C-alpha cells in the first residue's frame, strides 16, 4: 500500500509542474517533492547570424525564467545549467566566448559547462578554459582537462553529476589525457559515486544518434547509421556502475532514447541508461527525417519537426521527470514517457 501512496503523491507533485514556460509551482512539504532542477542544451551561440542570436537569446530567457521560479519557491529549489559543448561558434575564440557571455548571461553561478569540438578549433580549447577560469569545477582536475564531478543538490547528493571531455577521444594527440580520464572515471564511480542514489553524466558527442552525426554527417534521408560510437568505453563504464542518464549535444536536434545498454540493447527501466541529445541551445537545426533511426530512439526532432529549446530535468531522491521547453510554447514536442526511476546502482 505504501508504494501506491508514494506513486499517487508523485503523480500529484508532477501535475504541479507547469512546464510550458518553465514555471514550477511550489511543492507540498513532503519527502517526495523535487529537490533540484537541471537545465541542459548545447550548440549555442554565434554573433555573426541574426537568427542564431534570436534562438540563443530565447533559450537563455527560458533558463532565467526557470531559475527565478525555482528561487521564488518556498523552500527554494536549486538549479544547475548543463552547457553541452559547442558554446561559442565557430572556433571558440576569445571574441566568440564574449559573444556566448552576451547570449547566455546572468546565470554563471549555476553553469556547468563542458567543451565541444568547436572549442578545440582554438588550440587546446584555450579560450574555453580562460572564459571559465573562475569555475572551480571546470578546473577541478587541472588546467585544460575539462572533466569533473559535482554532488547535487547537497554535498552528499543524492545526485552525482559527471562532466566529461570527449575531445580527448577524438584526437590521437590526447591519447594520454583520454586514458587518464577513463581511469579517473572508474575511480570516481567505484568510490565517490557509489554513495549517491542517481548518476547523470554529460559530454558533447553522442554515443548513439539518429541525427546527422549518426549518419556520418551525410544528409540523404536513407543513409545508413554510422558504426562510430563516441565515448563507448565511458558509456560502458557508466552502465556497469548503474548510471541513470547521459546528456549530449553535437547533433543539432532533440532526441531521447529508452533505457539501454552500452551496446544499444533495450533494458528494463532500472537496468539501463537513458540518453538525451540536446543540440538545441541556439544553433540552426539539422536533418530529422532519416528513414533509419537508432535502436531505442523515442523520436528525433530537428529542422523539420523540431525547435530550439532546453531540456528540463526535475530531480527527486530516486527518480526524475523531464520535459523539453521550446522557445515557442505553441510548439511542444510529442514526447513519450516523461518520468522514470533511477537505475539501480551497482
Q: What is the mean pLDDT of residues 150-164?
A: 96
- Residue 129: domain span: 2-341
152 assigned to some structural domain? yes
pLDDT score recorded for residue 31? 59
| pLDDT, tens only, 163-180 | 999 999 999 999 999 999
14 — pLDDT class (breaks 50, 70, 90):
very low
pLDDT score recorded for residue 19? 40
| pLDDT, tens only, 240-287 | 999 999 999 999 999 999 999 999 999 998 999 999 999 999 999 999
Maximum CA extent, the chain:
59
pLDDT score recorded for residue 192? 74
Q: Please tell me what DSSP assigns to residue 54.
A: H
Our count of domains for the chain comes to 1
346 assigned to some structural domain? no
154 assigned to some structural domain? yes
In this predicted structure, the answer to whether residue 43 has a pLDDT above a threshold of 70 is yes
325 assigned to some structural domain? yes
332 — pLDDT class (breaks 50, 70, 90):
very high
- CA–CA distance, 317 with 339 (Å, rounded to integer): 13
pLDDT score recorded for residue 28? 35
Q: What is the mean pLDDT of residues 150-155?
A: 95
220 assigned to some structural domain? yes
In this predicted structure, the answer to whether residue 129 has a pLDDT above a threshold of 80 is yes
SS (H, E, C) 305-341: CCCCEEEEEEECCCEEEEEEEECCCCCCCCCCCCEEE
111 assigned to some structural domain? yes
Provide the strand spans (E) within 174-243: 198-202
Instruction: Write the CATH number for 184.
Output: 3.60.21.10
Q: What is the mean pLDDT of the chain?
A: 91
132 assigned to some structural domain? yes
304 assigned to some structural domain? yes
- CA–CA distance, 128 with 55 (Å, rounded to integer): 21
Amino acid at each position: 500500500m505504501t508504494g501506491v501512496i508514494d506513486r499517487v503523491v508523485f503523480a500529484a507533485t508532477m501535475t504541479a509542474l507547469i512546464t510550458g514556460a518553465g514555471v514550477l509551482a511550489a511543492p507540498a512539504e513532503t519527502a517526495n517533492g523535487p529537490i533540484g532542477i537541471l537545465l541542459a542544451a548545447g550548440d549555442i551561440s554565434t554573433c555573426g547570424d541574426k537568427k542564431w542570436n534570436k534562438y540563443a537569446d530565447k533559450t537563455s530567457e527560458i533558463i532565467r525564467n526557470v531559475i527565478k521560479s525555482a528561487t521564488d519557491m518556498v523552500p527554494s529549489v536549486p538549479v544547475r545549467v548543463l552547457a553541452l559543448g559547442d558554446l561559442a561558434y565557430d572556433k571558440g575564440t576569445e571574441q566568440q566566448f564574449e559573444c556566448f557571455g552576451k547570449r547566455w548571461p546572468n546565470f554563471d553561478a549555476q553553469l556547468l559547462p563542458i567543451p565541444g569540438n568547436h572549442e578545440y578549433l582554438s588550440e587546446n580549447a584555450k579560450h574555453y578554459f580562460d572564459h571559465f577560469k573562475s569555475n572551480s569545477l571546470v578546473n577541478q582536475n587541472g588546467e585544460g582537462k575539462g572533466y569533473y564531478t559535482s554532488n547535487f543538490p547537497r554535498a552528499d547528493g543524492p545526485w552525482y553529476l559527471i562532466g566529461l571531455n570527449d575531445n580527448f577521444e577524438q584526437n590521437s594527440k590526447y591519447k594520454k589525457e583520454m586514458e587518464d580520464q577513463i581511469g579517473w572515471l572508474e575511480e570516481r564511480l567505484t568510490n565517490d559515486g557509489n554513495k549517491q542514489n542517481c548518476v547523470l553524466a554529460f559530454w558533447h558527442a553522442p554515443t548513439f544518434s539518429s541525427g546527422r552525426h549518426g549518419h556520418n554527417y551525410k544528409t540523404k534521408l536513407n543513409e545508413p547509421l554510422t558504426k562510430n560510437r563516441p565515448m563507448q568505453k565511458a558509456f560502458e563504464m557508466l552502465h556497469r556502475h548503474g548510471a541513470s542518464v547521459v546528456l549530449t549535444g553535437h547533433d543539432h536536434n532533440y532526441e531521447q532514447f529508452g533505457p539501454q545498454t552500452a551496446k544499444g540493447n533495450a533494458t528494463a527501466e532500472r537496468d539501463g541508461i537513458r540518453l538525451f541529445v540536446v543540440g538545441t541551445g541556439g544553433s540552426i537545426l539539422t536533418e530529422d527525417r532519416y528513414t533509419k533511426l537508432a535502436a531505442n530512439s523515442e523520436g528525433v526532432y530537428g529542422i523539420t519537426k523540431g525547435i530550439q529549446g532546453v531540456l528540463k530535468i526535475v530531480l527527486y531522491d530516486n527518480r526524475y521527470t523531464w520535459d523539453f521547453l521550446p522557445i515557442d510554447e505553441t510548439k511542444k514536442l510529442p514526447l513519450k514517457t516523461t518520468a522514470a526511476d533511477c537505475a539501480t546502482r551497482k
